[in-house]
């Protein structure tokens, strides 16, 4: 058990440079700490105190003493933690945000965690049970999380082996009191599926995971070629088989704190194949269709620029439009002193403009001109002091503000 990894290449990586060890005071991470010390690794210790367990303060104090006795640098995150929604997902994001900050601020190689074989199997069963389509089945030996390298050298060791190692070496540790609570899906899977498995059964599941990842990797390699210049040709997408379409979506969509579920990707797939004009929120992006391509775009905030008088127009700068000299056409308007202050803002429900041929709703204009939904989000309109829409670029100005020598133009 002195060996810290089953992969010689990984061992060489861990012995190169200075690392951050993620230590929770459980038998897995305490075994990792001692194994890394005996291997001659250069490392600091990182610990997260969520303040959600009765012995959280006691465990932090224990780890501080342990590191002081061994002359190990310790970084602790113990700010109040108030998660929203799923506790485990929020805690994981919080934990790795802390690790990433420590690694980057101190020039470390990355993070080493004590994930072991039981964690690997539990994660795989959880993925299958929840219908998720993850980036990797089970747990990878090496991955990137929040921009930092994460190494997991103990995936060939069971939890029981690591606990036995601690007991035999006299290494103190704490047991997580919540591990027996079967209200948590992972704990239920641990007790009902993983704990009763013998070595033969474990090896069968590990081989199944290996094969799943091999198939997943091969499919990703060839469908990934459909992503060109950060966009996907929609017609080519629709000609793919369903599994390939779902894989391509999983690769294309932004990564988030939760893996995408299969049913969600199937619903998204139906929308893509059935709707011509897409505007679908996905994580912190918008999935849109533009000129027969699928793209991810940033969200567009509502804006409203107030223009107190004509001299302020020249100083107005926006990422969504620009002011230009007036030229006769559908982008220009003539204004009077009484119209100020003007407001140039995004379109609102109910916006309409009085034209020579009658009143025209702005949203009707979008539909008639087939303006993509994404472009509508940032489309500007000019509103006068009386609250009337006097210009819709691309449609024109209202009848009361038309002249052959307009004052300015608004161009998208």
pLDDT at 92: 87
Establish if 174 belongs to a structural domain: yes
Please give the pLDDT value at position 214.
93
Same domain for 108 and 53, yes or no, is yes
Does 385 map to a domain?
yes
360 inside domain: yes
Question: pLDDT value at position 89?
Answer: 78
User: Does 206 map to a domain?
Assistant: no
- Per-residue confidence (pLDDT) for residue 83, from 0 to 100: 77
Contact 117, 35 (CB under 8 A): no
- Tell me how many domains the chain contains: 3
Last residue of a domain, one of 239, 266, 297: 297
Question: Is residue 292 located within the same domain as residue 310?
Answer: no
Does 369 share its domain with 407?
Answer: yes
Residues 83 and 187 in one domain: yes
User: Is residue 212 assigned to a domain?
Assistant: no
User: Are residues 310 and 330 located together in one domain of the fold?
Assistant: yes
* Domain annotation covers residue 214: no
Same domain, 284 and 315: no
Q: Are residues 191 and 234 in the same domain?
A: no
Q: Are both 169 and 44 inside the same structural domain?
A: yes
- Alpha-carbon distance 19 to 52, whole Å? 27
User: Of the residues 257, 274, 297, which one is the last residue of a structural domain?
Assistant: 297
Asked whether 380 and 393 are in contact (CB, 8 A), the reply is yes
Is residue 211 a part of any domain in this protein?
Answer: no
Return the ∠ at Cα 373 (arms to 261 and 396), rounded to 5°: 170
Alpha-carbon distance of 300 to 43, in angstroms, equals 44
Q: What is the pLDDT of residue 258?
A: 62
Distance CA 51, CA 136 (A): 31
> Long-range contacts for 223-227 (Cβ within 8 Å, ≥24 apart)?
223/247, 223/248, 223/251, 224/248, 224/251, 227/251, 227/252
What does the pLDDT read at residue 7? 59
Q: 95: domain CATH number? A: 3.40.50.620
235 and 183 fall within a common domain: no
Range of the domain at 247: 223-297
> Which pLDDT value is given to residue 349?
93
Determine the Cα–Cα distance for residues 71 and 68; give it in Å rounded to an integer. Answer: 5
Q: Are residues 278 and 350 in the same domain?
A: no
Tens digits of pLDDT across the chain (412 residues): 445 554 566 677 787 899 999 999 999 999 999 999 998 999 999 999 988 888 889 999 999 999 999 999 999 999 888 777 777 778 888 999 999 999 999 999 999 999 999 999 999 999 898 877 788 899 999 999 988 999 999 999 999 999 999 999 999 999 876 666 666 788 889 889 999 999 999 999 999 999 999 988 898 898 999 999 999 999 999 999 999 999 999 989 987 656 788 899 999 999 999 999 999 999 889 999 988 999 999 999 999 999 999 989 988 999 999 999 999 999 999 999 999 999 999 999 999 999 988 999 999 999 999 999 999 999 999 999 999 999 999 999 999 999 999 999 999 8
Say if residue 15 is in the same domain as residue 143.
yes
Do 109 and 160 belong to one domain?
A: yes
> Which of 391, 410, 409 has the alpha carbon at shortest distance from 400?
391
User: Is position 88 within any domain?
Assistant: yes
Give the end of a domain, one of 261, 278, 297.
Answer: 297
């Amino acid at each position: 058990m002195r060996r810290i990894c089953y992969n010689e290449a990984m061992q060489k990586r861990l012995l190169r440079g200075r690392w951050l060890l993620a230590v929770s005071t459980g038998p897995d991470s305490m075994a990792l700490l001692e194994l890394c010390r005996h291997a001659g690794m250069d490392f600091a210790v990182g610990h997260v105190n969520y303040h959600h367990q009765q012995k959280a303060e006691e465990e932090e104090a224990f780890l501080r003493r342990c590191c002081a006795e061994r002359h190990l640098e310790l970084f602790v995150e113990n700010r109040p933690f108030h998660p929203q929604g799923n506790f485990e997902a929020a805690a994981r994001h919080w934990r790795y945000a802390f690790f990433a900050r420590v690694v980057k601020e101190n020039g470390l190689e990355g993070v080493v965690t004590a994930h072991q074989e039981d964690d690997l199997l539990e994660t795989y069963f959880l993925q299958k049970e929840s219908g998720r389509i993850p980036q990797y089945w089970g747990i990878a030996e090496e991955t990137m999380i929040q921009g930092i390298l994460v190494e997991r050298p103990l995936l060939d060791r069971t939890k029981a082996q690591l606990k036995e190692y601690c007991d035999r070496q006299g290494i103190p540790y704490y047991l997580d009191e919540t591990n027996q609570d079967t209200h948590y899906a992972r704990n239920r899977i641990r007790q009902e599926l993983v704990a009763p498995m013998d070595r033969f059964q474990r090896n069968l599941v590990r081989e199944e995971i290996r094969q799943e990842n091999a198939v997943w990797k091969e499919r990703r390699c060839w469908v990934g070629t459909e992503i060109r210049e950060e966009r996907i040709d929609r017609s080519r997408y629709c000609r793919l088989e369903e599994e390939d379409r779902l894989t391509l979506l999983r690769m294309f969509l932004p990564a988030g704190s939760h893996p995408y579920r299969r049913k969600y990707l199937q619903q998204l797939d139906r929308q893509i194949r059935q709707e011509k004009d897409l505007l679908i929120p996905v994580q912190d992006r918008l999935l849109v269709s533009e000129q027969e391509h699928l793209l991810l775009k940033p969200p567009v905030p509502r804006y409203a620029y107030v223009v107190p008088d004509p001299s302020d127009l020249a100083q107005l700068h926006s990422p969504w439009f620009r002011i230009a000299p007036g030229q006769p056409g559908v982008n220009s308007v003539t204004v009077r002193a009484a119209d100020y202050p003007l407001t140039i803002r995004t379109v609102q429900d109910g916006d309409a403009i009085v034209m020579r041929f009658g009143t025209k709703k702005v949203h009707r204009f979008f539909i008639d001109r087939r303006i993509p939904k994404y472009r509508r989000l940032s489309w500007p309109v000019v509103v006068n002091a009386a609250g009337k829409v006097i210009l819709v670029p691309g449609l024109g100005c209202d009848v009361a503000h038309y002249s052959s020598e307009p004052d300015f133009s608004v161009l998208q």
